[in-house]
Amino acid sequence: MTQNLKTKVLIIGAGTGGYVAGIRCGQLGLDTVLVDGGDGLGGTCLNVGCIPSKAIIHAAGKFETVAKAAGGGTLGITAAAPAIDLKQTVEWKDGIVRKLNAGVAALLKKAKVRVIKGWANFEDAKTCVVKTEDGDIRITAEHVILATGSEPVELPFLPFGGDVISSTEALSLSEVPKKLVVVGGGYIGLELGIAFRKLGAEVAIVEMAERILPLYDKALTDPVAKWLENHGVELHLGARAGGFGEGKLSITTRDGEPLQLDADKVLVTVGRRPRTQGWGLENMGVAMAGPFVKIDNRCATSMKNVWAVGDLTGEPMLAHKGSAQGEVVAEIIAGHDRVFDPVAIAAVCFTEPEIVSAGLGPNDVAGRDDVIQSVFPFAAIGRALAIEAGEDGGFVRVIASKSDHRILGVQAVGQHVSELSNSFAQMLEMGAVLEDVAGTIHVHPTLGEAFHEASLRSLGHAIHI
C-alpha cells in the first residue's frame, strides 16, 4: 500500500546543495522533506569525493614525509622505511565520513527536516513516488528543489568494472596498486594520481590535451608538471586511451603511434556529468541547457516553484556553489528577496603543489591593456621557506583594473594555498581594490603575505622583491 505525504518543500538529493537547503528551510520554519537516494547524507562530496579524497591525500603526504626521512634523512630527521596498510587507512577515512554523516543527520533532525531514504521517481513536476525499504511513499509538494548532483563519466571503451575504476573505487582500494594508469589529466585524476605516487605506486597519466589541467593557465600548472617529472610520473600528453585487457591499456600517442601501458588499475577521470537519468526528470516539464537543468539567477527552473541547485545546474560543478544556491532557494521560498549572483566562485586543485583560482585569469584578459597583472613568488616569503614551500615555483598573482585598481582575479600555486582561497574570494566579493589589500596589515610569518606583496607590487612598491 502506497503512503501519501504532503509537504511545503521537497528536496531530492542529500548532497551539499540538498542538505544545506534542507537545514536552511527548517531554520526558516518550512515543512521540509529530504529524499536521499544516492551516496548518503552529504552526497558525493562527503562520501566519495571531496572529504575522503583529501583524507587519502593527507595520509599520502604523511607517508611521503616518512619515506623521505628513511631515504637519507630530511631536515636532520631520519626514520625507518615506512609501510602502509591501505585497508587501515581506508578504515580511518571511512570513520571520518561516518562522523560527518552523523553530524549532517543531527543537523537535519535539529532543523526538523524529515529524511526519507529511497529512490524518487517523478510523475509530474510536484509529485514523486519514493521506493523505500518499507514500501512506496507518494509525496506532493508546493515547492521542489532538485539537487541530484553528478556522476563520473564512463568511456564506452573503458566501462567501469574490475580493474577499471572511477574515483569512488580508487578511494576504497584495499592495497596500493603497483602500476596505476590515470586516464584524464584534470584535477581529480591528478589529485589521486599524485597521492598514489606518494604511496609508492608507479603512475602514468594519459591526457588528450597538450598539457595537464588544461582549464588553468600554464604558469599555474607548471609547478605541478615539475613535481610529476621530478617524481617519475609518466606523462602521455596529446594521447588517446583505448581498450584495456590482460593488464595493459592501449593508447595512441600524439604522434599517432600505438603504445601499451602496463596497469594493475586504470583510473578513469575524464569528467563528471549531471545526474539527470532514472528519477523522472523527463516528466517534470523543465527546460534544459544542454545536459544541465536550466535556471535563472534565483535558481528557478522553467516550471513554477521547481528549483535546481548544484552540479545539476552546470559549471562550476563545485560543492560550495551548490551549498550557496541551496541557502538562496530556501530563503526565496520563505519569502526573502534573494538572487544567486556571486562575483566569483573560487576553485582549488589539491595537487602537489595546490592551485587556487578566483575571478578572472590571464587567459580571460589576454590582449587587454586596461589591466594590471602582478606576481609575487613564495620563494621570497619567510613562512614558505620555513615549511619547505618556497622552492617549487609557487606564487600569488593579482589581476586588477588599471583605472580604478579594482581586483578582478587572484590565483596562486604552492603548498597549502588552498587556505588562501577564502581570502581571495572575499576580496572579490567585497569589490576590494588593490589599496584595500595593501592597507591590510598581514600577519607575519604567513603565506598570506604573498597576497599582500603581490598587491603592493601591482601598485609599484613591493617591499620584499
Going by the annotation, the residues of the binding site for FAD are 54, 148-150, 311, 317-320
Count CB atoms within 10 A of the CB of residue 265.
21
- Give the integer Cα–Cα distance in Å for 56 and 52: 6
Count CB atoms within 10 A of the CB of residue 57.
18
Q: Which residue is catalytic, options 336, 405, 444, 461?
A: 444
> Reduced to 3 states, what is the DSSP secondary structure of residue 368?
coil
Q: Where are the beta strands (DSSP E) in 111-254?
A: 114-117, 119-124, 127-132, 135-146, 150-152, 164-165, 179-183, 202-207, 234-237, 240-245, 248-252
DSSP 388-432: T-SSS--EEEEEEETTT-BEEEEEEEETTGGGGHHHHHHHHHTT-
DSSP 193-213: HHHHHHTT-EEEEEESSSSSS
Active site annotation includes 444:
yes
Angle at 88 between CA 83 and CA 89, to 5 degrees: 80
* Sequence letter at residue 155: L
The residues pairing with 116 across neighbouring beta strands, listed in sequence order, are 35
Angle at 197 between CA 191 and CA 200, to 5 degrees: 150
Name residue, grid cell 574490475. Answer: 162
CB 12 within 8 A of CB 147: yes
For residue 367, give the DSSP letter.
Answer: T
- First-last CA distance in the chain: 74
Phi-psi region of 207 (alpha: psi -120 to 50; beta: other; left: phi over 0): beta
Nearest to 422 by CA among 347, 321, 328, 368: 347
Q: Specify the DSSP element, H or E, that contains 373.
A: strand 371-377
The residues assigned a catalytic role are: 444
